[in-house]
């Protein structure tokens, strides 16, 4: 009797426990038919703003030429019938209306049928990742089976479109203490982070130099070759290599650069902040049941995405709050994560987040970050997804995160397959 | 809804007669089946819609399952807690016409072969499945699902999953084969599920050692029930302690994995493809899943949460595969939730007769309910 009773008790206890358990790492490692999987993730090279390879072309050109290459490499069943793509979401920050018109046009030109709808998204620096989340959610709830998330930015051409400070027209809002914080320049928000949390200029320069060294090494070792698709330029030349990374950058060489935002006592410089850049990236997502049916390859799977709001005047702390939120939602711990792709908007804010969360520095941006590679705003999130899926090994877990202007943070979790 | 109350007994198994549209058999145990007598009830639904007992057999130990003889309208087989199987003739009183004694522990399930109608099988807490003929006292064959040692798991990912499970119960019950079923399409195929979270698919034509494919079905938690789809020969459903129902395509090796996983033991690893899942289908462990005899995409589940639920498998629309999963539906594919039981529901069966949708369910509350799950 006691064994029969014990057996029944085991079933009850474990099934009651199972409800909490279902979100833990071990169950995340299991593949399920309803998983949202990444079939392909690629990017262009990242061009230097104002003087790089992409300085003479705008986002529509970049997106069109990227899509030609991206779609050309789609697995056969999908390339043969682009109607299978049921939604395109494209992140962009600086274009008028987030590029709703010209980016839809680029999609049509590249062969995506008019019957596939398009949405332009702008959540500042997280726009590319937000596009991935938008598509993933639609797949999750069954609105669509396959979708394409994109991110594109030409800071060269469109930085002038929008007052980088943003605009508040209402006089009442201009005087409102909270509202006007949204107008604080990003560099100043970073100075606030550096000053409030005592991140020294030396630490920032060391972090930035490290980013340059990692990126240059990765570039030379050809680690980006798999993720970068060539972009053909109007003059017939081809750009397929990042322009940001450069050799021989050290903390000493960066230490001589003058502060950019607060001349006398600032610590944020052009050397320890992200570069102004142009680029485009794309992530193709599907439900696993459909990917299996079509025999599509699977790079990895999307697990979860969370955003948080933080005080606008220290917007750079965003990842320090977004990452714990997404970890909690999935039942993971910081130690469970194998690689963090944390966008290096500025060295100070990235360092703050890394220290605050107790992240092993060796797990952060192993192939360099935006300080060395560049930060084409709307493209960055999708670019990080393409990069992290090459950095992770099978069954490793990765986090992609960034801070967001006007005070937010975003973080998403992916598992490599 | 019709009701019959088995005074002093808790229901474990129920099956409609394959020969008479108004006849049911229920396997039950006293003291919740934990200790004491068992009882087989033969019930009939009379013309006025009442359920009446036409015969019953008291046994020395609790009864956990039953199966009507598919080739004899008066014979019912029961699975008993003392390790025996007993064949009763419903026209007789009191004593069985045959006893089959080989299992060393509780027999938890029995199932008659629907294709050849000559054989039946049993599964037991002793870790074995036995195939029998009613004409012979000794079993024809003993099948033992192989991956009983969790530490000897071949798939490295499964090993990670299982190692991280800190549950204690699994080690005690892991040998238990909770249920085994003959395929309704092929007399040689047997599916079983065990406390080690694995389902095993046997082809009894093959020599032992090469006749089984094992696949992890419930994340390291006990797999309590399994069933073949009646229309799609390659589709099976499983249910278990993770509160999930999972639907598997037993044809497919997972294309993406087959190349990377080394098969150190031939036939040991079969990555059957999970084509659909209903996570948190019930609030507690699932004790029974059974596919509709009338629809290729409808199944029923019974659970410790005291409910029976009818589900639509959204990966198939009744004619073809849709590649949807139940997660994409707001109701998760739920069609009906039966909440009349006041204790753990252990047994449920679809009626083969009349308008599709009638089912019988039985629970620890001693009730047998007959109800329509499809409206």
Q: Which of A9, A13, A33, A35 to mutate to test the interface with B (most CBs of B within 10 A)?
A: A33
Distance between B87 CA and the closest CA of chain A, angstroms:
24
In chain B, where the domains are located: 1-107+341-354+361-374
Residue A88 dihedral angles phi and psi, to the nearest 5°? -125, 130
A10 within some domain: no
Query: What confidence tens digit (pLDDT) does each residue in A162-201 have?
Result: 665 578 889 999 899 999 999 999 999 999 999 999 999 9
Beta strands in B82-164 (DSSP E): 84-89, 98-101, 107-112, 120-124, 129-132, 141-143
* Backbone dihedral angles phi then psi of residue B257, each to the nearest 5 degrees: -100, -25
pLDDT mean across residues, chain A: 94
Quote the CA–CA distance of B131 and B142 in Å, as a whole number: 6
Nearest to A11 among B160, B285, B321 (CB): B285
How far is residue A311 from each of residues A125, A176, A193, A264, A409, measured CA to CA in Å? 16, 15, 11, 25, 10
Residue A338 included in any domain: yes
Task: Write the DSSP symbol of residue A141.
Answer: T
Cα separation, B131 vs B116, in Å, equals 13
What is the C-alpha separation between A14 and A366, in angstroms, rounded?
40
Say if residue A21's pLDDT is above 80. Answer: no
Which of A5, A16, A17 is nearest residue B34 as measured by Cβ atoms?
Answer: A5
| B219 vs A contacts (CB less than 8 Å) | 26-27, 30
A60 assigned to some structural domain: yes
pLDDT at A186: 94
CA nearest to A372, candidates A194, A242, A200, A239:
A242
Q: Which two tokens stand for residue A364?
A: 């952060």
Note the pLDDT of residue A164: 59
Return the residue matching tokens 């699902």: B145
Residue contact A26–B220, C-beta within 8 A: yes
Q: Is residue A75 part of a domain?
A: yes
Domain holding A398, by residue range, is 32-160+275-416
Average pLDDT over residues A70-78: 95
Q: Which residues contact B74 (CB under 8 A, 6 or more apart)?
A: B89, B90, B91
Contact between B17 and B24 (Cβ < 8 Å): yes
In a mutational test of the A interface, the residue from B219, B276, B312 whose CB has the highest number of chain A CBs within 10 Å is B219
Residue A393 included in any domain: yes
Known catalytic residue: A103? Answer: no
The per-residue pLDDT for A18 is: 59
What is the Cα–Cα distance from B304 to B289, expressed in whole angstroms? 13
Are A18 and B325 in contact (CB < 8 Å)? Answer: no
- pLDDT for A14: 83
CATH number of the domain bearing residue A347: 3.40.47.10
Q: Please indicate, yes or no, if residue A236 is contained in any of the structural domains.
A: no
Structural domain count of chain A: 1
Give, for A28, the enclosing helix (H) or strand (E). Answer: helix A25-28
**Would residue A51 count as lying in a domain?**
yes
CA distances from B106 to A380, B86, B173, B193 (A): 61, 13, 12, 15
Task: Say yes or no for a CB contact (<8 Å) between B315 and A33.
Answer: yes
Q: What is the mean pLDDT of residues A363-374?
A: 97
What was the pLDDT predicted at A22?
44
Cβ atoms of B297 and B333 closer than 8 Å:
no
Q: What is the rounded CA–CA span in Å between residue A220 and residue A245?
A: 10
Instruction: Tell me whether residue A320 is in a domain.
Output: yes
The answer as to CATH 1.20.1250.20 being correct for domain B1-107+341-354+361-374 is no
> Using one digit for the tens of pLDDT, what is the confidence trace for A238-291?
999 999 999 999 999 999 999 999 999 999 999 999 999 999 999 999 999 999
Q: How far is A245 from chain B (nearest CA, A)?
A: 36
Residue A28's pLDDT is 80
Q: Starting from the edge strand earliest in sequence, which strands make up the sheet with B120-124, in order?
A: B107-112, B120-124, B129-132, B141-143
Q: Is pLDDT above 70 for A105?
A: yes
Residues 6+ apart with CB under 8 A from B151: B159
User: For residue B323, what are its two tokens?
Assistant: 């590649």
Which residues in A have their CB inside 8 Å of a CB on B? 1, 3-19, 22, 24-27, 29-34, 140-142, 145, 287, 289-290, 292-293, 295, 297-298, 394-395, 417
Task: Going residue by residue through chain B, which has 375 residues, state the pLDDT in tens, using 9 for 90 and above.
Answer: 999 999 999 999 999 999 999 999 999 999 999 999 999 999 999 999 999 999 999 999 999 999 999 999 999 999 999 999 999 999 999 999 999 999 999 999 999 999 999 999 999 999 999 999 999 999 999 999 976 555 444 444 455 455 544 444 445 677 899 999 999 999 999 999 999 888 999 999 998 878 888 888 888 889 999 999 999 999 999 999 999 999 999 886 443 333 333 333 333 333 458 899 998 999 999 999 999 999 999 999 999 999 999 999 999 998 898 989 999 998 999 999 999 999 999 999 999 998 999 999 999 999 999 999 997
* Of B315, B179, B289, residue with least CA distance to B237: B289
Under DSSP, is residue A269 helix (H, G, I), strand (E, B) or coil?
strand
């Amino acid at each position: 009797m006691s064994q029969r009773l014990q057996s029944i008790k085991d079933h009850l206890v474990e099934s009651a426990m199972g409800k909490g358990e279902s979100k833990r790492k071990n169950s995340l490692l299991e593949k399920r038919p309803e998983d949202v999987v990444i079939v392909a993730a690629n990017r262009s090279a990242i061009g230097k703003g104002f003087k790089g390879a992409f300085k003479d072309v705008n986002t529509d050109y970049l997106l069109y030429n990227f899509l030609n290459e991206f779609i050309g490499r789609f697995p056969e069943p999908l390339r043969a019938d682009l109607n299978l793509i049921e939604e395109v979401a494209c992140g962009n920050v600086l274009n008028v209306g987030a590029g709703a018109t010209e980016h839809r046009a680029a999609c049509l030109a590249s062969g995506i049928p008019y019957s596939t709808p398009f949405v332009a998204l702008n959540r500042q620096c997280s726009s590319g990742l937000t596009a991935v989340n938008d598509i993933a959610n639609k797949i999750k709830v069954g609105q669509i089976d396959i979708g394409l998330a994109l991110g594109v930015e030409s800071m060269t051409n469109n930085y002038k479109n929008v007052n980088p400070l943003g605009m508040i027209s209402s006089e009442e809002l201009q005087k409102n203490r909270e509202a006007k914080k949204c107008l604080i320049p990003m560099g100043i928000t970073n100075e606030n982070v550096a000053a409030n949390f005592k991140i020294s200029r030396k630490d920032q320069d060391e972090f930035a130099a490290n980013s340059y060294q990692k990126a240059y090494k990765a570039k030379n070792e050809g680690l980006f070759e798999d993720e970068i698709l060539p972009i053909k330029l109007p003059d017939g030349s081809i750009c397929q290599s990042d322009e940001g990374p450069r050799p021989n950058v050290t903390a000493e060489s960066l230490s001589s650069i003058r502060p950019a935002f607060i001349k006398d006592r600032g610590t944020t410089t052009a050397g320890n902040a992200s570069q102004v850049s142009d680029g485009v990236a794309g992530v193709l997502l599907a439900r696993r049941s459909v990917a299996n049916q079509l025999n599509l390859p699977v790079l990895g799977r999307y697990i979860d995405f969370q955003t948080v709001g933080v005080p606008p005047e220290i917007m750079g702390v965003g990842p320090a709050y977004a990452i714990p939120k997404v970890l909690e939602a999935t039942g993971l711990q910081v130690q469970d994560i194998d690689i963090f792709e944390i966008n290096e908007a500025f060295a100070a804010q990235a360092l703050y987040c890394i220290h605050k969360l107790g992240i092993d520095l060796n797990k952060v941006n192993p192939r360099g970050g935006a300080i060395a590679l560049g930060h084409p705003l709307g493209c960055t999130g999708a670019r990080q997804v393409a990069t992290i899926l090459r950095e992770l090994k099978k069954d490793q877990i990765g986090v992609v995160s960034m801070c967001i202007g006007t005070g937010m943070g975003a973080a998403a979790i992916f598992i490599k397959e | 809804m019709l009701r019959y109350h088995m005074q002093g007994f808790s229901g474990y198994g129920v099956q409609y007669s394959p020969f008479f549209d108004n006849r049911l058999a229920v396997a039950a145990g006293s003291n919740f089946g934990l200790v004491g007598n068992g009882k087989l009830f033969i019930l009939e639904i009379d013309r006025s819609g009442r359920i009446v007992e036409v015969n019953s057999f008291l046994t020395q130990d609790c009864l956990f399952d039953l199966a009507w003889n598919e080739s004899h309208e008066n014979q019912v087989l029961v699975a008993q807690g003392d390790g025996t199987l007993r064949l009763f003739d419903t026209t007789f009183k009191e004593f069985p016409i045959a006893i089959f004694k080989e299992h060393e522990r509780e027999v938890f399930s029995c199932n008659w072969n629907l294709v050849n109608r000559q054989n039946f099988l049993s599964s037991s807490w002793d870790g074995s499945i036995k195939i029998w003929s009613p004409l012979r006292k000794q079993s024809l064959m003993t099948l033992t699902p192989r991956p009983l040692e969790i530490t000897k798991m071949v798939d490295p990912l499964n090993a990670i999953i299982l190692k991280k499970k800190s549950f204690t119960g699994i080690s005690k019950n892991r040998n238990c084969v909770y249920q085994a079923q003959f395929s309704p399409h092929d007399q040689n195929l047997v599916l079983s599920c065990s406390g080690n979270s694995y389902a095993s698919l046997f082809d009894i034509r093959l020599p032992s050692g090469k006749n089984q494919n094992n696949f992890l079905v419930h994340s390291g938690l006990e797999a309590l029930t399994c069933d073949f789809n009646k229309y799609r020969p390659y589709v099976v459903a499983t249910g278990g302690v993770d509160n999930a129902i999972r639907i598997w395509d037993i044809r497919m090796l997972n294309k993406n994995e087959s190349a990377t996983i080394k098969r150190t033991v031939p036939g040991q690893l079969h990555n059957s493809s999970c084509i659909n899942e209903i996570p948190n289908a019930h609030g507690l462990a699932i004790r029974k899943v059974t596919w509709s005899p009338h629809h290729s995409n409808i199944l029923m589940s019974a659970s410790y949460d005291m409910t029976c639920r009818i589900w639509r498998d959204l990966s198939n629309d009744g004619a073809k595969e849709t590649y949807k999963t139940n997660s994409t539906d707001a109701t998760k594919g739920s069609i009906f939730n039966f909440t009349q039981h006041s204790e753990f529901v252990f047994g449920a069966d679809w009626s083969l007769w009349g308008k599709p949708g009638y089912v019988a369910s039985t629970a620890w509350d001693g009730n047998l309910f007959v109800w329509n799950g499809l409206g």
